[in-house]
């Protein structure tokens, strides 16, 4: 199984889908014996391409560049004058309104700002790049932020799994509060944790996504320089290091894959997706003791994650095992009580058990919570 951590409602990376949020782990455990391959050698491509790696040119796609045609369109729709909020609203209307750009959301399309404008579509990264580039042309101060959206456990095929990450844009206004611009209002919720990322980090996600696309197509020669470019921009992003490890593993360079995964854990020792990739690697290479060690860590942290427990509850519900559904749901609700879908499933489960009293009680809790 190849494991990716990639798609962003905005997007990113290659890995297996696992929960987040756990206590720290000791990555220098007794089973750790990764070959001491340097960062420079991991990023050189010599192990993959030999002498040809010296001629490798890193991509430069001009992620935030805009054209004269784009500026002309901006001049038509958005004034340089007026209150900041007015300029923000005019820009949003230009990008999403009928009769203007009418940009459509497509989470599979990682575009530069230029291509997002050209095709009038894209994922959240593409939308954010275009909005930020236009906003700056109109004198607005913008910053990118990542959103801690709940993980989803959905396979993208027989051998690949994608994890979603989410990015949007914050714009300064005349008030003390920033204005948040997000094309994916269905998945973005104001109560989700968020943190500011630099423009380099935001741009790195574009190159990581493109690398992931090439990797899933089996085009390793194109995938590798995109991952390297991404890591040049965001050298501490664990997900991108793990994607590089997947590439090495798919090419049979197991010591390089292992080292890439441990580089990822160096920057995020909580990342169970990386741990799961190690399990896959050790299973494939016959290191059963190491595989068991990391598999046990993964299972331990999975059961602490409310969204993983909800996922397992859905599985049990679909199989008609309502007692098991309740056990997973109760664990999920103990850790996260404000997610409406947990309560909806609880109500449906009690209904299947013909427990009218508890069905009614769960239904009242659903009604009492605003839709989020």
pLDDT block averages, 10 residues each, the chain of length 372: 43 30 38 74 97 96 97 94 92 90 91 97 95 96 90 52 81 85 71 90 96 93 98 96 95 96 91 89 94 89 85 92 94 87 93 91 76 48
Strands (DSSP E) contained in 159-206 are 166-171, 179-181, 194-197
**Distances from the Cα of 181 to the Cαs of 283, 304, 329, in angstroms?**
43, 32, 33
Q: Does domain 306-368 have CATH number 1.25.40?
A: yes
pLDDT tens-digit readout, 178-227? 889 988 765 566 677 889 999 999 999 999 999 999 998 999 999 999 99
- With a pLDDT cut of 70, the percent of the chain lying above it is 84
1-304: CATH homologous superfamily?
Tetratricopeptide repeat domain (1.25.40.10)
| Cβ atoms < 10 Å from Cβ of 52 | 11
Fold matches, 1-304 and 306-368? yes
Q: What is the pLDDT of residue 6?
A: 46
Backbone phi, psi, residue 146, to 5°: -100, 145
Question: Which DSSP helix (H) or strand (E) runs through 115?
Answer: helix 113-119
Q: Could you state, in order of their start, the residue ranges of all structural domains in the chain?
A: 1-304, 306-368
Backbone phi, psi, residue 225, to 5°: -65, -25
Q: What is the pLDDT of residue 15?
A: 36
pLDDT tens-digit readout, 21-58? 223 334 444 445 566 899 999 999 999 999 999 999 99
- Closest-CA residue to 77 (of 102, 94, 95): 94
| Cβ atoms < 10 Å from Cβ of 283 | 16
The DSSP letter of residue 175 is S
């Amino acid at each position: 199984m190849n494991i990716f951590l990639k798609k962003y409602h905005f997007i990113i990376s290659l890995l297996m889908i696992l929960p987040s949020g756990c206590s720290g782990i000791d990555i220098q455990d007794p089973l750790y014996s990764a070959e001491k391959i340097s960062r420079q050698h991991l990023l050189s491509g010599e192990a993959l391409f030999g002498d040809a790696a010296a001629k490798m040119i890193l991509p430069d796609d001009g992620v935030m560049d805009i054209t004269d045609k784009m500026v002309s369109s901006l001049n038509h729709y958005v004034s340089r004058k007026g209150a900041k909020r007015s300029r923000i609203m005019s820009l949003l209307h230009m990008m999403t309104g009928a009769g203007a750009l009418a940009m459509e959301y497509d989470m599979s399309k990682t575009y530069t700002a230029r291509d997002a404008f050209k095709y009038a579509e894209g994922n959240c990264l593409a939308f954010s790049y275009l909005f930020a580039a236009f906003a700056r042309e109109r004198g607005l101060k913008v910053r990118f932020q990542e959103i801690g959206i709940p993980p989803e456990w959905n396979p993208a095929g027989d051998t690949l799994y994608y994890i979603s990450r989410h990015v949007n844009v914050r714009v300064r206004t005349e008030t003390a509060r920033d204005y948040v611009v997000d094309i994916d209002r269905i998945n973005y919720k104001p109560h989700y944790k968020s943190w500011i990322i630099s423009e380099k980090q935001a741009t790195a996600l574009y190159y990581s996504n493109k690398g992931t696309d090439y990797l899933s197509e089996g085009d390793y020669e194109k995938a590798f320089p995109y991952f390297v470019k991404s890591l040049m921009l965001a050298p501490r992003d664990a997900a991108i290091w793990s994607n590089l490890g997947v590439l090495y593993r798919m090419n049979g360079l197991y010591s390089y894959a292992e080292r890439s995964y441990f580089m990822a854990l160096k920057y995020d020792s909580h990342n169970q997706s990386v741990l799961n990739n190690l399990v896959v690697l050790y299973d494939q290479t016959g290191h059963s003791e190491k595989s068991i060690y990391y598999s046990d860590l993964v299972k331990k942290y999975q059961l602490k994650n409310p969204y993983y427990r909800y996922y397992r509850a859905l599985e049990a519900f679909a199989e008609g095992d309502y007692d098991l559904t309740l056990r997973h749901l109760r664990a999920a609700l103990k850790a996260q009580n404000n997610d409406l879908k947990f309560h909806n499933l609880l109500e449906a489960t009690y209904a299947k058990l013909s427990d009218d009293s508890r069905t009614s009680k769960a239904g009242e809790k659903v009604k009492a919570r605003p839709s989020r």
